[in-house]
Amino acid sequence: MSNVKDMRIFAAEQIEVPDLFPGILKNFIKEVIRRQPQEQDQVSFSRQYFEDLLKERGYFDAPVREKVEFTTKEFYLSHQLKFKETYKMGETIGYGGLSTSRKCYHRLTGEVRAVKVTKKEDLEYGERQKLLEQIEILKELDHPSICRVIDIFEDKKKFYFVQEYLSGGGLFNSMITNVGFTENASAQILKQVLSAVAYLHSKKIAHRDIHPENILFESNDALNVKLLDFGNSRRMGENEAMHGVYGTAYYVAPEVLVGNYTEKCDLWSVGIILYMLLSGKPPFNGTSDVQILEEVRKGQYEITGGAWDQISDSAKDLVTKMLTSDP
Ligand SMILES: Nc1ncnc2c1ncn2[C@@H]1O[C@H](COP(=O)(O)OP(=O)(O)O)[C@@H](O)[C@H]1O
Ligand SMILES: [Mg+2]
């Protein structure tokens, strides 16, 4: 058994451990390997064996399946060609907590694309589950205002999400350089974002991390934007409420902070973006995330004076409607 990481993830699936387990699972699997060192593709363990091991580490109630089997082979989604055979890797265009985005070039056509690369070793069990869930969601998405994922590769060490390359830069940068878009430009951008969000919600998908760095301009010469980054997105059941706290301080909805919310939390985030497009400032501000979140909880913001004097009542009315907790 050479692949400790994959065994760890597979073991986690088999034991149905809660998310807080993966830290201990790593050591735990190493120990399994130490005790059972044969190099073979398939190894089975009894439930008792796992329960004993877990108990030794102070976990008494973990549900373990009858029989725990590892196969190293079944971890890899099959793919005819490897990423590197199909694309030439280019320069880095973005860093995130779990992944790096880079430009890449199709070897046959020369077409420029973007690829988001995630190292498996950086993923804890819960994160890997989220990534697999994300793949299922991405496969289903097809909308003009959502960045298209063209291909997904997986090899021993990494996942590669190949996407269309959006050359116009992030909405965030444009906000900083433009300081207040015109009402007309704001409306054009908002319409596209809302259409993407409506599409997602019609499929019962919540994005949960809408902010201006996840909205990119398709090119420099028009206001066409696309939403991307489905790293926190989630497919919901009928009438299901969500509880996990995700998002980015300035844009997170108050009901998310309370830990009981629906896909409507995305509309709040879009409302914040609209507020910022029109006025050039965030409605809830502070010098730290804690302070910003405190303001979000209070929910009080200014929509008069300064830039707002030039803005139409209907635009203000829309901002107010969107910045309503659980609209
Ligand atoms: N398809 C793309 N075209 C152009 N730039 C991109 C693309 N995808 C990602 N980027 C750049 O990389 C950054 C991070 O990508 P994102 O998917 O949001 O990952 P993260 O989960 O790290 O936030 C983006 O904000 C953007 O600047
Ligand atoms: Mg992002």
Q: In the predicted model, what is the mean pLDDT of residues 199-223?
A: 96
DSSP 8-state symbol, 101: E
Q: What is the mean pLDDT of residues 65-92?
A: 60
What is the sign of the dihedral through the CA atoms of 224, 103, 101 and 12? positive
The model's confidence at residue 191, banded by pLDDT at 50, 70 and 90, is: very high
Q: Which of 146, 164, 182 is the last residue of a domain?
A: 164
Q: Is residue 327 part of a domain?
A: no
Q: Give the percent of the chain with pLDDT over 70.
A: 75
For the stretch 101-146, pLDDT in tens is 999 999 888 899 999 999 998 998 888 889 999 998 998 899 999 9
Domain that holds residue 213: 171-322
311 and 240 in a common domain:
yes
Task: Check pLDDT > 50 for residue 239.
Answer: yes
Among all bound ligands, the one having the nearest atom to the CA of 101 is: 1
Strand residue runs (E) in 28-86: 42-46, 67-71
Query: Over 60: is that where the pLDDT of 31 sits?
Result: no
Catalytic one among 209, 266, 309, 313?
Answer: 209
Which pLDDT does position 16 carry in this prediction?
45
Stronger pLDDT, 210 or 152, i.e. the higher one: 210
pLDDT, tens digit, for every residue of 259-291? 999 999 999 999 999 999 999 999 999 999 999
Q: Do both 99 and 148 map to the same domain?
A: yes
Q: Which residues line ligand 1 (CB under 6 A)?
A: 93-94, 96, 99, 101, 114, 116, 147, 163, 165-166, 170, 213-214, 216, 228-229, 231
Residue 4's pLDDT is what?
44
The answer on 289 and 179 residing in a single domain is yes
Task: List the beta strands (DSSP E) in the chain.
Answer: 42-46, 67-71, 87-95, 99-106, 112-119, 149-154, 158-164, 205-206, 215-217, 225-227, 234-235
Domain count, the chain: 3
Angstrom distance (rounded) from CA 244 to CA 252:
12
